[in-house]
Structure formats: structure tokens, C-alpha cells
Structure 1
Amino acid sequence: MSLPVPPPDRLPDGFTVLLGPGVERREGGTALLGGSPARLLRLAPAAQALLTGDRLAVTDPRSAALAARLLDAGVAVPEVSAVPRPDVTVVVPVKDRTDGLARLLAALHADPGTAGCPVVVVDDGSADPAAVAAVVAGARLIRHERPRGPAAARNAGLRVAGTEAVAFVDSDCVPETGWLGTLAGHLADPRLALVAPRITALDPAQPGWVARYEELASALDMGPAAAPVAPGTGVSYVPSAALLARRTALGGGFDETMSVAEDVDLVWRLTGAGWRVRYEPAARVAHDHRVELRDWLRRRAFYGTGAALLAQRHGAAVAPLVISPWSLAAWALPVFGGRLGLLGSAGVLGRASVLLARRVAAPGQPPPIGWATGLVLRGTASSGRALGRTVTRHHWPLAVAAAVVSRRARRAAAAIAVADAVAGWWPRRREIDLPAFAAGRRLEDLAYGAGLWWGVLRARDVRALLPAAPEPVAPGG
């Protein structure tokens, strides 16, 4: 499905960007290191004169071009002002969930930022249409006589929206006051197609370890840091539970042939067409998480089936592991080569550090070996964590098969599973005990991996299981 071409990239005067957390100034302030994936961005003298601190306000075409470059490199985030009463149509797809729909509509009516917004409810073939119609007073109702899926329901609302912006909110959500105005501030960027809020738990007090795990590690929660959204980055997608979109950017909208992962597909098509997509955690929308064990696991498996569909459309963008050959060698050599493997791993990392230092060295300056070594070690540690995740999540059937025939594989798989659970639990150690978190982590990964493999077998396409190589850290202009 083709999408409209974004307008010329000219950020308006007054638009402001801030250097992102963790961005380092290098080479006396003439270069910036950061983003995801990491890159070294060298600044021309004119750009250095404009970016004297960590904040850049657009005042003319040159500063607009620099701000756009920083945004697209992932080293800056926009500083936006909330729009008190945005001109937005709210589209709510629903099927049978009348209690949640009534709760959502009440929340929209009570929020001063959405009380006056037109609302379109799309009933996607509910068994009791009269019950849905009874709670939709004051909103426009569209009905599908038979279920056509959430993508088709959202598109039906998109087609009748008369405003420049459209917010999609699922009926099991309750937005916090002011969420829409915070998101709407991003529309000052003319190339911004889509922005998503942070998805949190609707009822943190629900009993049970599944509810506690979902509150802290839900697949819908993209974390506390604002970020650009694109494949291969720290935030590669955003869920469609709640989104704000520029209507003219969406074209035909979601792919109605996809019953799962249609939100990821839309994000990747938008970024591929040149639009910007952002994640804004300052806006929050609460979601009624599934916390009954069977339903929770079934949903995770369902999510996993979407990877094969995405691989058919986007190829390596859906790779479960992005790892460089030298990182893979650095981890594989000690596992399979013993003490000699450790020496070989050290040699691989040393060589990678030298090559990186030479590639990013400023003209006339010695290669920054120390800095490059630190970056290589950090990248290798990150790759190791990602490799461990694939063993326990995406490729666990292979790990189980290896463990059946090899004692060394059993020990390695057990060690990886424990290390992965501890690494995920540690930042949350004051909020959940390790056994509960570890149980949630392992069961979630087993369910997702099972769905992934089922989707691959059904599609007869293994690309969703194959690793990919990252883009190298390189100087940018």
C-alpha cells in the first residue's frame, strides 16, 4: 500500500529541539555521538555556531535544516508545547466490549482537551449491536455487519474524519487528562505522520503475579524515554492501542489484510516513505491488560504470529537479532573454543576497535583508540544481551533441541535463561520479586516464540527467524 510523499522538510520558526539523553559531544564539540543505532555526527563550522548548547531553536532555513538533521540522526528530540484544544477526530474501533467503550467515552467527555472533539465509533460486527448503540450517544456510529478486523474498523473511521488529525483509541483504554494536547504539539513538525503515547496499566492494584508483571513489563509499554520510531532503532514500533496521526499522511491507512501487526506495518511504511514517527511518553493512556494466564499467553502467541507477515513485507527489518559479525564471533569463540576462544575473542574485539577508530578519525587527528574500544565493548555487551533474548524467546525451539542432545548446550541455555531473567528484573527489583518476574519472562517468551514459529511454518518463510547485520557507526555530515 503506497503512502503520500511527505512535504518539504522545513521546520517552522520557533520549533525547538534538544540533544537527547546520552548524546556525547566529541572532538572538542565538533561532533555528536548518540542515537539508536549509534552514529557519529560531525558538525560543519556553520552548524557548530548554531548549536552552542544542548538546545536549538529554529529561526531561519539553516537552523531548520540543522534541527531536522539532528532529529533524523536520532541525537535530538523535539521540545513541543501542548495544544489546549486540538482539532482532532477520535476513532474508536470496538467489538462486543460495551463496558470498556462506555468507560472510554466518559473519559473523553470529561477531559477538557477532548470534550469537544468529534468521536467516531466503529462497531466491528458486535454480537449485540443495540448494546453498542446504547452507549454511543453523542458520537457517530458506523457498523460492520460482520467482523472485518481492527485495521478495517480504524480505516472506516479514518475515511469519514474531517479534521487534519485523527486519534485512534482502542475501547479497552482510558487516556489520562491532557494526553491528546501533548501529542498534538508534535504536529508542528510538517513531516510528522504519527505520534504515540506511553501505554500504562489501567489498574495497577489488580491481584496476581501476571498483573504485576504486565504492569512493569508489558509489550505495549515502550518505556520512559521519548524517541524516534523506526525499524532497527531502540523503539522500532508503537502499538495501535492509542495513536495520533496526520490524516493526509496515512493514505489508505492500515493494511486490512493483516489481522495482527498491522500497526507495525503502518509505522514501517510511513518511515520508509520519508515521514517521521515519534514516541511521546509524556502523554499516557491506560490499558486494561489481560491478566488471566491463559488469555495473556494466547495474546502473546498471537503477537508472535505477526513476525512472518512483517517479514514478507519488510524483509530484514523484522530480524529477531541485529548483530555484527565481530560481536557474534566475540561471543561464540569463548563458548566453543574454551581458553583459546577467550584469546581469540580478545583479538576480535581489539581488531574491531582499531578499524572503528580509523573509520571515525577526524582528518589530521590520530585514531581515537580508547574511545573506539569503549564503544566496541558497550556494543558487544548489548549484542550479548540481545543474543541471549533470541535464545530464550525467538529461537527457543532450537535451544531446546540442542539441549536434548548436548550437556554443554543444556548448561548454556540454563545460564542464559537465568542471566536474561536477572538482567530484566534488576531495574525493577524494588517493585517485583525475582521468581515472579522470571516466571513471567520465561512464559511470555515461550508463548511469543511458539507463535513466531507457527507463523513462520504457516507462511513457509523463514526470514522472521534470521539475524541481520547492523549499520556501522560512521561519520555523518
Structure 2
Amino acid sequence: MTQDTPTVAVVAIGRNEGQRLVDCLASLQGKVARVVYVDSGSVDMSVQNARDVGAEVVELSSDRPFTAARGRAAGYAHLKTGEMPDYVQFIDGDCRVDPDWIARASSALDADMELGLVTGWRRERFPEASLYNDLCHDEWNRPEGLIETCGGDIMVRPAAYEEAGGFDETVIAAEDDEFCVRMRKAGWLLRRIPYEMTYHDAGMTRFSQWWQRAVRSGHGFAQVGHMHPPYFAKEQKRVVLYGGAVPLAALILWLVWPVTLVLIAAVYGLNYVRTVKGLTQAGMETPRARRHGLLLTLSKFPNILGMGMFHYRRLKGRHMQIIEYK
């Protein structure tokens, strides 16, 4: 690095990521000044694998719930024990970093002092492995430019991180959205630049994994929406309608007028058709749109469970426990 080249440190988080973490850390070699790996109670070789490649390791204690936000916050706090870099790249341990990403992201932050963070395009490594992986692949494909929120693979300006207050470890899902909301409230801009950033391995091959992930999304809708209204208001209304109100109406009407079940089925059929139409208009091939549309239509049911879980925990004053799908 030359004197004018900004220094970048990485905070990687993980839990039992196996080979995915090995690939993640290998993709960072020679690209950054420091790598901090934060482990959330792994029982595999993750901690040793990280140490073997020279990463600084932070092992979270089990005295309170593991969350991605807690891991990121702990990694950032560890960085402050040494010389702080110009920028901090956060990454999930199941992702590889594109070889050119670090230089491109740091250059973008150098060029615009109003930017608090930049993100890029996350791609799914094995979209053909399952319908669920393919759904993730489409989730990551978002337009470039100024954005409101993004996922957790981000390069952050430390001043912006500090002003926003960092990650809130009590948020167990959509913690990246919640952090971005606070960063924008603090007056910083967020941008997605048009470059490949990371290559993700969702590793979802079973319907049960997809279901749990959708439950977690519902929890995120409710928790972040509760913290920052009206954020996620549209998503919550949609979930309450199709995941709660329509099924409840179906149950009540079935008891007095069974034929109404046909009308209820038509409601979901129309929602499916509209979803597929939206996907095809966005450029997705019709066969993929039909498969994705089915999961997106079904997702309202696990979503409503996740939303209910959050509000039950909130009203009972209970800790927000992580919802795992791997």
C-alpha cells in the first residue's frame, strides 16, 4: 500500500461455517490491513481455521443471545483496541469477497465524503443447487445508486458508524436495515456501486430451511418496524393480510358457508399471479418467476409466525433469540 492508499480492516462474523469461512478468509489475504473474525459459539474448526490464517479472533460468550448485530459490534469494538483503519468492511463468514471490491469500495468512499457506507452486488455462488438458493440470488440483485438500506456486506466510514451508534445487538433479524435507518437519520448517504462485491453460499437445500429463514424475516419486519415506524409498514400490512386476516376469514366463513373457501383460494391465486407478473416484468424468465412466485406467496405464513414471535417476546419482556436456518 502506498501512503495515499486508505487502510481497510475487515470484520467477518460466523457460526459453524466450515469451508465457507475458509474461503471467505482466503479471499481477503493481501487485500486488507487487518481481519477480525467474530465467532458465535461454533463447534466446528472455525476458530482454529481463522487463527491459522492470521485473523484476530473474538469469541462471543454465551451469557446472552448470539446475533449478527452483536458479532459485528464486537468486531468493531475489537478494532478500536488497535489503530483504527480508514474504512471497515463488514462481511458474513459464508461469503467470498470479489478480488477488486476492497479497492473499488474504498475509492468510492474517498471520492464522496457524504457517503457513510457503500455496498455492491452480492451474488449467490450456487443458485442452481436449489430453488431456495436461486431465490436468494434474486434477492441480492438490486439497482445501483443511492439507497435507503442494504444487507450486511458493507464498507463503512468509521465516523458514520460512530455517529449512527453502531449495530444494535438486540436486533436478531434485519439488523442491517435497522443500522442503515439510523445512519440515514444521522445525515449520511448510502450508495450501491455497480460492482461485484461478495459471493454468498446460502446452503439451503430443504424446505424447512427456507421456512425458518422466512420466519426470521417476519421477525425482522416486526422488530425493525416497531423501532423505526413506518419502516417495513408495507411488508407488515401484506403479511397481516395474507398470512393472518385471510386465513382467519377462511376459518370463520368455512364454519357457516363452506363454499367461500373457493373465494379464499382465488384470493391467493390472484396474489400469486400478480407476483409472477411483477417478476416477469422485472426481467425474470417465466419458469423461474412461477417457482419464485410460489415461495413468495407462501412466505406470508412463516412471516406472520415471525411477527407474532417478536410481539410475544416483546410483551413478555423476553430476550430476542436468534432464529437459525442453517
Secondary structure at the counterpart of residue 228 of structure 2: helix
Counterpart in 2 of 1:163? 85
C-alpha deviation, 1:457, in angstroms? 4.6
Task: Kindly provide the amino acid, as one letter, of the partner of residue 223 in structure 2.
Answer: L
Counterpart in 2 of 1:90? 10
Q: 1:440 aligned to 282, 295, 318, which one? A: 295
Q: 2:196 aligned to 283, 292, 302, which one? A: 283
Change (3 A) 1:426 1:250: same
Change (3 A) 1:434 1:226: closer
Counterpart in 2 of 1:247? 158
Secondary structure at the counterpart of residue 301 of structure 2: helix
Secondary structure at the counterpart of residue 191 of structure 2: strand
C-alpha deviation, 1:286, in angstroms? 1.1
Write out aligned runs for 1:115-264 (5 A). 116-128=32-44, 131-136=46-51, 137-146=53-62, 148-161=66-79, 162-187=84-109, 188-206=111-129, 208-215=130-137, 217-218=138-139, 221-223=140-142, 225-230=143-148, 237-240=149-152, 242-251=153-162, 252-264=165-177
Secondary structure at the counterpart of residue 120 of structure 2: strand
Write out aligned runs for 1:446-465 (5 A). 446-459=301-314
C-alpha deviation, 1:119, in angstroms? 0.8
- Residues 226, 279 of structure 1: 8 Å contact kept: yes
Q: 2:272 aligned to 407, 417, 420, which one? A: 417
C-alpha deviation, 1:279, in angstroms? 1.9
Change (3 A) 1:448 1:199: farther
- Residues 37, 50 of structure 2: 8 Å contact kept: no
C-alpha deviation, 1:408, in angstroms? 5.3
1:305-359 superposed Cα distances (whole Å, 9 cap, x missing partner): 12222133212123126xxxxxxxxxxxxxxxxxxxxxxxxxxxxxxxxxxxxxx
Secondary structure at the counterpart of residue 155 of structure 2: strand
Counterpart in 2 of 1:50? none
Write out aligned runs for 1:13-412 (5 A). 86-109=6-29, 114=31, 116-128=32-44, 131-136=46-51, 137-146=53-62, 148-161=66-79, 162-187=84-109, 188-206=111-129, 208-215=130-137, 217-218=138-139, 221-223=140-142, 225-230=143-148, 237-240=149-152, 242-251=153-162, 252-292=165-205, 293-320=207-234, 391=238, 393-396=239-242, 397-404=244-251, 405=253, 406=260, 410-412=265-267
Secondary structure at the counterpart of residue 173 of structure 2: coil
Cα separation, 2, equivalents of 1:453 and 1:280: 36
- Residues 199, 286 of structure 1: 8 Å contact kept: yes
TM-score by length of 2: 0.79
Q: Which 5+ residue runs of structure 2 have no aligned equivalent?
A: 254-259, 317-326
Change (3 A) 1:202 1:86: farther
- Residues 91, 122 of structure 1: 8 Å contact kept: yes
Task: Kindly provide the amino acid, as one letter, of the partner of residue 399 in structure 1.
Answer: V
TM-score by length of 1: 0.56
Change (3 A) 1:272 1:434: closer
Secondary structure at the counterpart of residue 121 of structure 2: strand
C-alpha deviation, 1:390, in angstroms? 5.2
1:234-258 superposed Cα distances (whole Å, 9 cap, x missing partner): xxx2111x11001122124101122
1:244-289 superposed Cα distances (whole Å, 9 cap, x missing partner): 0011221241011222222111111111111111222423211112
1:9-55 superposed Cα distances (whole Å, 9 cap, x missing partner): xxxxxxxxxxxxxxxxxxxxxxxxxxxxxxxxxxxxxxxxxxxxxxx
Secondary structure at the counterpart of residue 320 of structure 1: helix
1:365-390 superposed Cα distances (whole Å, 9 cap, x missing partner): xxxxxxxxxxxxxxxxxxxxxxxx95
Of all paired residues, the percent bearing the same amino acid is: 23
Cα separation, 1, equivalents of 2:147 and 2:87: 19
Cα separation, 1, equivalents of 2:47 and 2:172: 22
Q: Which 5+ residue runs of structure 1 have no aligned equivalent?
A: 1-83, 231-236, 322-388, 462-477
Cα separation, 2, equivalents of 1:454 and 1:395: 17
Secondary structure at the counterpart of residue 436 of structure 1: helix
Cα separation, 2, equivalents of 1:125 and 1:145: 7
Secondary structure at the counterpart of residue 299 of structure 2: helix
Secondary structure at the counterpart of residue 106 of structure 2: helix
Instruction: Report the aligned-residue RMSD.
Output: 2.7
Change (3 A) 1:421 1:435: closer
Task: Kindly provide the amino acid, as one letter, of the partner of residue 209 in structure 1.
Answer: L
Which of the two has higher C-alpha Rg? Answer: 1
User: In terms of mean alpha carbon deviation, does 150-159 or 265-274 score higher?
Assistant: 150-159
Cα separation, 2, equivalents of 1:410 and 1:131: 47
- Residues 421, 441 of structure 1: 8 Å contact kept: no
